[in-house]
Structure 1
Amino acid sequence: MRTILITGPGGTGRTTVAAATALAAAREGTRTLLLGTDRTDTLGAALGAATGPAPVEIAPHLAAWRPDPVAGFRDDLAALQDRASAALDLLGAPRLDPEELTPLPGAEEIAVLRALRDAALAESHDLLVVDLPPLPHALDLLALPEELRRYLRRLLPPERQAARALRPVLGRLAGVPMPAEWLYETAARWDVELAAVEAVLADRDTTVRLVAEPSPAGAEAVHTAALGLALRGLRPDRLIANRVFPEEGGDGWLAGPLAQQRKVIDEWQTSYDVRTVAHLGRDPRGPDDLLALAVPEAGPADARVDWPVVDRLAPDGVLVWHIPLPGAVREDLDLVRRGDELVVTAGQFRRVLPLPSALRRCTVDGAALRDDELRIRFAPDPGLWPAAR
């Protein structure tokens, strides 16, 4: 299934563009699901119809869904209490009633990720349009599955589960229940769920679409977002320049703002597939206004970024890992090798990258930023690299 993740700076109309994109696709006969992430029903306001915690049919071929993080948090905590009942009883801890539960920070993000996974894996729709939170929250959300899986693997390494048969014996010797069994089972289940979300985000039919107003602030936000996406191996498939003033208004008081918009759009067009959406002179409300925006079609997915490892052993004695980082600044880059991982920092963004298998047997020999691309050189470690015959 095709998935379009739409985000942009707050207040630039990303929700409206997401709703218009979904509605236009549905009008073409594509079975479309529109997933909202706002706590308030801004999506419903744009559509002219309320959305809720279950998919609601908005128009022919179009359903909208806004997951409820409170319900998901209650279900998760109830399940956790059931699994940890022995340990809770030993400690004398009373159970929490569902009525007294309020979601903790992070519950909303988990609810969105689960909804994204469930919607993407369902076979009831052909297109999933996701109204992501505004930047930079959306970038944090996209990074969350990988980061949580990494934390789980560090805290509860799967290889330690080989000792599961010893836990009942240890429990009897200690005279207390051992919670490790359910803990590892819970961690394994979470790992599977997070891996499914990662697979959706990494799928070649999944793309990110940026929405921004063509202004200096919008240009800065797009620059930052592009760098954050690039570090995740993504680039925008479209850049929607939203609320663009009409050209015929260029002789009046709009002359200055219009010239500024033209300049920003011209700069964007050197790096992105830019599509403009006109300013209606009001906040779009309802299907008629959404269709009047004439947003770009869903189109084919083509936003993956390859990170090739280039063999330069013969001429230079190194392997070179090419990581595209458009807009990166040399002074804001940092690299740290840690075992079989490479910690890459680019501006305000950081990612822990597992090294490709060939590079794990090498040492870092240097790095350079050229043509918006980070090129890291790896020299074979004589103690680990197969000897030439």
Structure 2
Amino acid sequence: MRTILVTGPGGAGRTTVAAATALTAARTGNRTLLLSTDPEDTLGAALGTPTGPTPREAAPGLTAWRPAAAARFGEDLLRLQDWAAPALDLAGAARLEGEELTPLPGAEEAAAFRALREAVRASHDVVVVDLPPLTRALALLALPEQLRRYLRRLLPPERQAARALRPVLGRLAGVPMPTAGLYETAERWDRELAAVQEVIAHPATTVRLVAEPGRTATDALRTATTALALHALRVDTLLANRVLPEDADGTWLAGPVAQQGKILADWGSVAGPGYPLGRIPHLGREPHGVDDLGALAVPYDPAPPEPVRWPVTDPPGDEGVLLWTVPLPGAVREDLDLLRRGDELVITVGRFRRIVPLPSALRRCTVAGAGLRDGELRVRFTPDPGLWPRT
């Protein structure tokens, strides 16, 4: 299944581009699902037909779905309350009732991720997800991996072996001990997060960046490509939206057209030659309905780009050194920080951070240095004599 995640700066028209991408995919014979993370029906405005909490056909071969966050959020919170009952009772906390629960910020995105996981099990060929604006989308895409790591640290699976001792330990400590339900809930959350993470990291999943040509958009796209590369996410296209016609000589549009041309030339260097640049024309009005979406001629390539790789190599002429290469286009040395923490490497680029487990071979090595060159972070490792296998 091909999955396309669409995001961009606020107001760039990402919902319109997501709808147009899904329509193009459907018209090429793919069974396509279009998911929205927006609680307002902006997607319905673009499609020309309302969308809602149940999947609805928007065009031949195209199904639109705006998952409702409220119902599932309440179910999850009440389930959380049930397994935490001993601690809540000890603290004298009053129980929440289902009727008083309302979704918290982020519940819409969580509902969309749950819907994305369910879509994998359905019979769709292509799933297009209209993500939130760029800053929220970048944090959202990193969330499943982060939450799984937190769960493993707070509730290690190996501690479940002590289930039989919990009643005894509870009497000795005088406080309720974690119940089996707590670990069962953690296991269920881990499975759900793993399923979402698998979809995001799948080789057929790509991110489509949409922006309206402008100086601030250039900076936002440069930051986004670095953050996406840090999380090994692939960008299939940079789409310039609402591009003015080039044949505007002698009119008042000549100046804005020339300015757009300079900006688009800069965009070619934002993420390097591996990222195609597409242009979506300005229709002179806000697109509404499938006819307008088709007129945008948004590109769709059924074949995703090459996956992002972080290779470990043994560079020639540098005996006893292993090199781990991490692509980070757009990164600058002043914003980069590295920290080895046990079998993990903490990589910080500006305000973005990722904690990645080291490949098995590098866990038996020590860090000998690192450098940033041509958009690649190259970390040097030397084998630890006390841990490296002897020949």
Q: One-letter code of the match for 2:354?
A: R
- Alpha-carbon separation, structure 2, partners of 1:81 and 1:347: 37
Q: Does 1:289 align with 2:300?
A: no
Q: What pairs up with 1:123-272 in 2 under 5 angstroms?
A: 123-171=122-170, 177-270=176-269, 271=272, 272=275
Identity %: 67
Deviates more, 1:259-268 or 1:348-357: 259-268
- SS of the residue corresponding to residue 238 of structure 2 reads strand
Q: What pairs up with 1:7-86 in 2 under 5 angstroms?
A: 7-86=7-86
Q: TM-score, normalised by structure 2?
A: 0.94
Q: Who is 1:5 aligned against?
A: 5
- SS of the residue corresponding to residue 123 of structure 2 reads coil
How many residue pairs get matched? 387
Cα shift at 1:38: 0.8
Deviations 1:280-337 (A, max 9, x none): 0111111111111111024311152110001138633210000010011011110011
Q: One-letter code of the match for 1:32?
A: T
- SS of the residue corresponding to residue 136 of structure 1 reads helix
- Alpha-carbon separation, structure 2, partners of 1:365 and 1:82: 50
Q: Does 1:369 align with 2:372?
A: yes
Cα shift at 1:53: 1.3
Q: Unaligned 5+ residue runs, structure 1?
A: none
- SS of the residue corresponding to residue 389 of structure 2 reads coil
Cα shift at 1:368: 0.6
Q: Who is 1:383 aligned against?
A: 386
Deviations 1:324-359 (A, max 9, x none): 100110111100111111111112211111111111
- Alpha-carbon separation, structure 2, partners of 1:39 and 1:232: 27
- SS of the residue corresponding to residue 79 of structure 1 reads helix
Choose the corresponding residue for 1:345, options 334, 343, 348.
Answer: 348
Deviations 1:13-49 (A, max 9, x none): 1100000111122223211100001121110111111
Cα shift at 1:153: 1.1
Q: Is the 8 A contact 1:234 1:303 kept in 2?
A: no
- SS of the residue corresponding to residue 318 of structure 2 reads helix
CA root-mean-square deviation? 1.8
Cα shift at 1:95: 2.6
Q: One-letter code of the match for 1:312?
A: P
Q: Is the 8 A contact 1:237 1:303 kept in 2?
A: no
Q: Is the 8 A contact 1:36 1:132 kept in 2?
A: yes
Cα shift at 1:173: 5.3
Deviates more, 1:228-237 or 1:306-315: 306-315
Q: Is the 8 A contact 1:7 1:210 kept in 2?
A: yes
Deviations 1:70-105 (A, max 9, x none): 111101012223334455455544331111112233
Deviations 1:175-199 (A, max 9, x none): 7653332111111111111111110
- Alpha-carbon separation, structure 1, partners of 2:5 and 2:338: 29
Distance 1:259 1:321, change over 3 A: same
Deviates more, 1:28-37 or 1:246-255: 246-255
- Alpha-carbon separation, structure 2, partners of 1:91 and 1:223: 49
- SS of the residue corresponding to residue 122 of structure 2 reads coil
Distance 1:229 1:132, change over 3 A: same
Q: One-letter code of the match for 2:158?
A: E
- SS of the residue corresponding to residue 339 of structure 2 reads strand
Q: Unaligned 5+ residue runs, structure 2?
A: none
Q: One-letter code of the match for 2:333?
A: R
Cα shift at 1:363: 0.8
Cα shift at 1:62: 1.0
Distance 1:174 1:361, change over 3 A: closer
Choose the corresponding residue for 2:325, options 322, 325, 329.
Answer: 322
- SS of the residue corresponding to residue 316 of structure 1 reads coil
Q: Who is 1:94 aligned against?
A: 94
Q: Is the 8 A contact 1:9 1:134 kept in 2?
A: yes
Q: One-letter code of the match for 2:100?
A: E
Cα shift at 1:112: 2.3
Cα shift at 1:382: 1.1
Q: Is the 8 A contact 1:167 1:181 kept in 2?
A: no
- SS of the residue corresponding to residue 198 of structure 1 reads helix
Cα shift at 1:108: 2.9
